Structure 1
Amino acid sequence: MSSQILTRRPRVLAAPGDRHDEILTPAALDFVAQLAVAFDERRAWILKERRRQAIRLASGSPLDFPMVTRRIREDASWSVASPAPGLLDRRVEITGPPERRMTVNALNSGAQVWLADFEDATAPTWSNVIEGQLNLLDAIERRIDFTSPEGKEYRLATDRPLATIVVRPRGWHLDEEHLHVDGRPVPAALVDFGLYFFHCAQRQIDAGQGPYFYLPKLENSYEARLWNDIFVLAQDLLGIPRGTVRATVLIETITAAFEMEEILYELREHSAGLNAGRWDYLFSLIKTFGHRTDFLLPDRGQVTMTAPFMRAYTELLVHTCHKRGAHAIGGMAAQIPGKDPDAHAAALAKVRLDKEREAEDGFDGSWVAHPGLVPLCREVFDGVLGEHPHQLDRTRDDVDVQPADLLAVRRIGADPTDEGVRTNVSVTVRYFAAWIGGQGAVALDGLMEDAATAEIARVQIWQWLRHARIDRETVVRILGEELDALAAQRPYAPLDEIQDLFHRMCLAAELPQFFTPDAYSRHLVRTLERDA
């Protein structure tokens, strides 16, 4: 694969920006192009296989642990690689977009790991993508700073350890239309991975760590194998020893939950564990089985991690990871500490209960979305882990999860409430407005919302309409009211575009798999050719 010859040089179809040339060097672009030439066909096959699997499941084919990989699950002799430097202790991980201020705050937060998120927390404008790469490079070089319009200065701490950087590239379903190879857009995942790896892999190794990644929205072990092959080629091209890359996979699709061991196996030389991505997991459940009444979900706030099917998912994840020597990382606490004392106390109490459950269940760490939650999460995990960096020795041999347990939804709550319907419409409208405006992580109603929460909100609307739990007229009325409220807050918001996007994503007869590809192509692409 490394001997592939490019028929054309990669073409950047976006206007140049400040310091973009530091990232978009000829050598870096050639590196990304080599990855695209080597793997674009396999990526296209994976997307076709996703569609075929969706059709099979919609037609009634059962979802089960694969028989063809049974030997992998039953073979007790294999394990993943030992934790890499900087990834031994992961009791608190903070997530957020690689914006300049967030980069400084996250690295200074006291968390062990920062997930620099090019996926759900970033609206993928070309400037956001390239400036995010610049911010990571500046952070690794310890030259990053930021001054707010109010004059507040943000600088990296020099008196304590900084968080380990782990990058989440965009998912396989997304293209990067501002960068073409052989006349086709490069898969967005390879742009995010390739640019970071080219510029920062050796720098991270020299700093005593390495190039680490979170892999989003994988649906099966074949997709994990593709990423493993990408890691092998990337390391070979740059002369980096194999196994230096480490990747944590988010188990955030229902099909991936049935192949956790296989995913670890395919990545075992490069694996750093699994993560429980709760909102995308529910989103995937509705996408996959939303046509069935036995998978009808109530308000998303009622679907807690204590629901039996969610307990089965998280306990299986911990058991699987620890059986193979891999870290198990818990889900997101999206609460934003507020100024109202009562609301603040209630939010912290909710976070504490969630993190106590995860730590007691055997998770080795968990996610928070705001630096203000780092001390609480750390306190909870300190109370369970003590001086130990993890609890990999808790193999949870008491866990016995069967396929039916992962699918046992069965109307876990009441029909949607009026408040639940309005909340989902409101979150969808306001998030779409922010995303179209180039913002991917948005504070809404005391929570840090990203594309994952927007996805679960909009597919719940679709599911409730599909099963006549709400009527279209009510949704359209609430949509109008929310657009009016948005207009009062943001007079220049593109209301027609937001309304059209809402109709396409929430009110269509067939559910779009993701809102991001369509919205990206319509609203965020600014190529020189298109704008000419």
Structure 2
Amino acid sequence: MQNAAGVSVNVSAEYKQLLNPSAQQFLATLHRCFNQTRINLLNERVKKQEKIQNGWLPTFNPDTKYIRDDPTWTAAKPAPVEITGPVSRKMVINALNSGASTFMADFEDSTAPTWENILEGQVNLIDANKKTISFHDKKSGKSYSLNEKIATLLVRPRGWHMVEKHFLVDGEPISASLFDFGLYFFHNVHQTLKNGLGPYFYLPKMESHLEARLWNDVFNVAQDMLNIPRGTIRGTVLIETILASFEMDEIIYELRDHSSGLNCGRWDYIFSFIKKFKHDPKFVLPQRADITMTTPFMDAYVKLLIKTCHKRGVHAMGGMAAQIPIKNNPEANSKAMEKVKKDKLREVTAGHDGTWVAHPDLVKIALEIFNKHMPQPNQLYKQYPEIEVKASDLLNYRVVGGKITYDGLVANVQVSLLYLQAWLLGNGCVPIHNLMEDAATAEISRSQLYQWVKHGSKTDDGKVVTRDLVNKIIDEQVKELEKSAKPGVYDKPAGFLKRMVVDYPEFITTTLYDSFKGFALPKEKL
């Protein structure tokens, strides 16, 4: 039943204050102002995908050339080493204490959006901004609280493609983006300003500057409703779709009074590249391990991002190091940490103004490298007028030495199964094979399986990747995994994966969302 604000929502007593009548009205207003525009823009994504499948290749938009060519405009002034992770209470505390400059609390790729996770995450961030957050781990007996010096908090809401089905406005689900952003902004804007900071956001999964314009409009209305000066909000855009890479100038322009810069969302970018060109055999990519930041289309994207950001006076943030410390294996840990060092050295020498890590123990490594090679706050002085990135560079799919191995095929199956299972149990990021896997990396794994089956790709030892072969590997891996789990535990993720191999959904997250749409659904019933 709808209340006076036209909202239908069911919350337990502990979250009544979080979703109080004023907060509900605020969210409902955002929905009524912007949801139809969001839907229209999602429909434009579908139309553009149809164009691509009919042979059109993305290029720089001639209609917005005047924005790209105008050297006079810059964006608002903008944080160097960042750590990212889910919004669980312990993670929030550890990340804020990690020594990183900022912590991006992630409602998107590293949080499985159960209703309980989303609401609890919002409560955790309110407590973090008030600096009252604490946590007692009953299993270990350890207690956690904030240090005196903590990282600056940033928040990543879910993307425009997602909805929050537990909060209905006029009978339809609210945009998950508006829900995550709106609830955080409503409860925290005054406290963050009191702390001498502000409400800072990371904006994911956009495919055009019109989607950035929508965010800018949302920011303006939200600020106006709470009598906050326009320009108070700052947002960093993740360039993590191939289509957005052709509109970097335009995206900054649309958000210019609220922009902090752009970020190389490398894993989602690879996923987007596969997804957009999955129909075309020319664009078949080798196994994930062979797609590096020196791969032509990745290298071009990084160069263009840094050049664009610095031209507009905003930060160009590097991507996430997915490695995590490996306990009880010093040799393997040393190799993993060396990869992190090389990755961060490449980023800082390329001109990035900061970077991401996925684990608190990597903050020190990244800080040492960036502080050594970037002793100043940023590298905006590096302008790179000599760099020219063409549309063909951003679409250069050739990977020198890249291949598909049977082990790579098995690894993609393993990552997909383990991540799907974790997500269904409410965990949005999970360590697998000594890497921190989130939705973006799992998307790569399942997308490659689809792409290789669709085009009958061959492994380096001559095996044709067929649906039957992948299904056989899925069944074998399920049997192996169930040696240390209850029988049937992996039936659901295996079923999802087998369907995804031949019937490609846009996102794992939207496909699996209904599997736990009940409020605080007990994990044992999933």
Answer yes or no: same fold by TM over 0.5. Answer: yes
1:345 aligns with 2:334: yes
Counterpart selection for 1:157 from 147, 161, 168: 147
The within-5 A match list for 1:283-432 is 283-339=271-327, 340-386=329-375, 388-410=376-398, 412-432=400-420
Q: Is 2:467–2:501's contact at 8 Å kept on the other side of the alignment?
A: no
Which deviations, in whole Å up to 9, do the C-alpha atoms of 1:38-85 show, x marking residues without a partner? 0010001011000000001111113110000000011111000112xx
Equivalent residue, structure 2, for 1:120: 109
Counterpart selection for 2:52 from 47, 52, 57: 57
SS of the aligned residue for 1:258 comes to helix
Equivalent residue, structure 1, for 2:183: 195
Sort the Cα spacing of 1:64 and 1:7 in 2 relative to 1 into closer, same or farther, 3 A. farther
Counterpart selection for 2:192 from 204, 228, 231: 204
* Aligned-residue offset at 1:395: 1.2
Equivalent residue, structure 2, for 1:520: 513
Equivalent residue, structure 1, for 2:135: 146
* Aligned-residue offset at 1:406: 0.5
Q: Is 1:334–1:368's contact at 8 Å kept on the other side of the alignment?
A: yes
* Aligned-residue offset at 1:415: 3.6
| Separation in structure 1 between the aligned mates of residue 428 and residue 108 of structure 2, nearest angstrom | 9
Q: Is 2:295–2:398's contact at 8 Å kept on the other side of the alignment?
A: no
* Aligned-residue offset at 1:407: 0.4
| Separation in structure 1 between the aligned mates of residue 398 and residue 181 of structure 2, nearest angstrom | 39
Counterpart selection for 1:106 from 95, 98, 102: 95
Which deviations, in whole Å up to 9, do the C-alpha atoms of 1:397-428 show, x marking residues without a partner? 22110000000113544441011000000000
Q: Is 1:433–1:493's contact at 8 Å kept on the other side of the alignment?
A: no
Letter of the structure 1 residue corresponding to residue 275 of structure 2:
K
Sort the Cα spacing of 1:492 and 1:184 in 2 relative to 1 into closer, same or farther, 3 A. farther
| Separation in structure 1 between the aligned mates of residue 128 and residue 480 of structure 2, nearest angstrom | 39
Counterpart selection for 1:130 from 119, 141, 152: 119
Q: Is 2:83–2:104's contact at 8 Å kept on the other side of the alignment?
A: yes
Equivalent residue, structure 2, for 1:247: 235
SS of the aligned residue for 2:197 comes to coil
Q: Is 1:122–1:440's contact at 8 Å kept on the other side of the alignment?
A: yes
Q: Is 2:415–2:432's contact at 8 Å kept on the other side of the alignment?
A: yes
* Aligned-residue offset at 1:384: 1.1
Letter of the structure 2 residue corresponding to residue 39 of structure 1:
F
Equivalent residue, structure 2, for 1:507: 502
Letter of the structure 2 residue corresponding to residue 463 of structure 1:
Q
SS of the aligned residue for 2:318 comes to strand
Q: Which runs of 5+ in 2 are unaligned?
A: 458-464
Letter of the structure 2 residue corresponding to residue 145 of structure 1:
S
* Aligned-residue offset at 1:498: 1.2
Counterpart selection for 1:435 from 417, 423, 428: 423
Q: Kindly, what percent of the aligned residue pairs are identical?
A: 48
Equivalent residue, structure 2, for 1:168: 156
Counterpart selection for 2:223 from 210, 219, 235: 235
Equivalent residue, structure 2, for 1:476: 471
Q: Which runs of 5+ in 1 are unaligned?
A: 1-5, 84-89
Q: Is 1:175–1:185's contact at 8 Å kept on the other side of the alignment?
A: yes
| Separation in structure 1 between the aligned mates of residue 501 and residue 318 of structure 2, nearest angstrom | 29
Q: Is 1:295–1:411's contact at 8 Å kept on the other side of the alignment?
A: no
| Separation in structure 1 between the aligned mates of residue 319 and residue 488 of structure 2, nearest angstrom | 32
Report which stretch shifted further, 495-504 or 423-432: 495-504
Q: Is 2:505–2:511's contact at 8 Å kept on the other side of the alignment?
A: no
SS of the aligned residue for 1:455 comes to helix
Letter of the structure 1 residue corresponding to residue 6 of structure 2:
R
Q: Is 1:296–1:410's contact at 8 Å kept on the other side of the alignment?
A: no
* Aligned-residue offset at 1:493: 6.2
| Separation in structure 1 between the aligned mates of residue 48 and residue 498 of structure 2, nearest angstrom | 26
* Aligned-residue offset at 1:266: 0.2
| Separation in structure 1 between the aligned mates of residue 384 and residue 471 of structure 2, nearest angstrom | 48
Counterpart selection for 1:456 from 444, 459, 484: 444
| Separation in structure 1 between the aligned mates of residue 440 and residue 508 of structure 2, nearest angstrom | 10
Letter of the structure 1 residue corresponding to residue 347 of structure 2:
E
Equivalent residue, structure 2, for 1:86: none
| Separation in structure 1 between the aligned mates of residue 220 and residue 190 of structure 2, nearest angstrom | 15
Sort the Cα spacing of 1:492 and 1:147 in 2 relative to 1 into closer, same or farther, 3 A. farther
| Separation in structure 2 between the aligned mates of residue 189 and residue 114 of structure 1, nearest angstrom | 19
| Separation in structure 2 between the aligned mates of residue 370 and residue 478 of structure 1, nearest angstrom | 31
Equivalent residue, structure 2, for 1:9: 6
1:274 aligns with 2:262: yes
SS of the aligned residue for 2:62 comes to coil
Equivalent residue, structure 2, for 1:87: none
* Aligned-residue offset at 1:500: 1.8
Sort the Cα spacing of 1:471 and 1:370 in 2 relative to 1 into closer, same or farther, 3 A. same
Q: Is 1:7–1:182's contact at 8 Å kept on the other side of the alignment?
A: no
Q: Is 1:486–1:493's contact at 8 Å kept on the other side of the alignment?
A: no
| Separation in structure 2 between the aligned mates of residue 486 and residue 27 of structure 1, nearest angstrom | 48
| Separation in structure 1 between the aligned mates of residue 81 and residue 487 of structure 2, nearest angstrom | 39
Equivalent residue, structure 1, for 2:461: none
| Separation in structure 2 between the aligned mates of residue 33 and residue 428 of structure 1, nearest angstrom | 36
TM-score, normalising length: structure 1:
0.94
SS of the aligned residue for 1:111 comes to coil
| Separation in structure 2 between the aligned mates of residue 259 and residue 82 of structure 1, nearest angstrom | 20
Q: Is 2:224–2:230's contact at 8 Å kept on the other side of the alignment?
A: yes
| Separation in structure 2 between the aligned mates of residue 445 and residue 487 of structure 1, nearest angstrom | 17
* Aligned-residue offset at 1:471: 1.5
Letter of the structure 2 residue corresponding to residue 9 of structure 1:
G
Q: Is 1:79–1:325's contact at 8 Å kept on the other side of the alignment?
A: yes
Sort the Cα spacing of 1:412 and 1:514 in 2 relative to 1 into closer, same or farther, 3 A. farther
Equivalent residue, structure 1, for 2:460: none
| Separation in structure 1 between the aligned mates of residue 339 and residue 356 of structure 2, nearest angstrom | 14
Sort the Cα spacing of 1:217 and 1:493 in 2 relative to 1 into closer, same or farther, 3 A. farther
Q: Is 1:337–1:344's contact at 8 Å kept on the other side of the alignment?
A: yes
1:24 aligns with 2:19: yes
| Separation in structure 1 between the aligned mates of residue 266 and residue 488 of structure 2, nearest angstrom | 30
Q: Is 2:454–2:502's contact at 8 Å kept on the other side of the alignment?
A: no
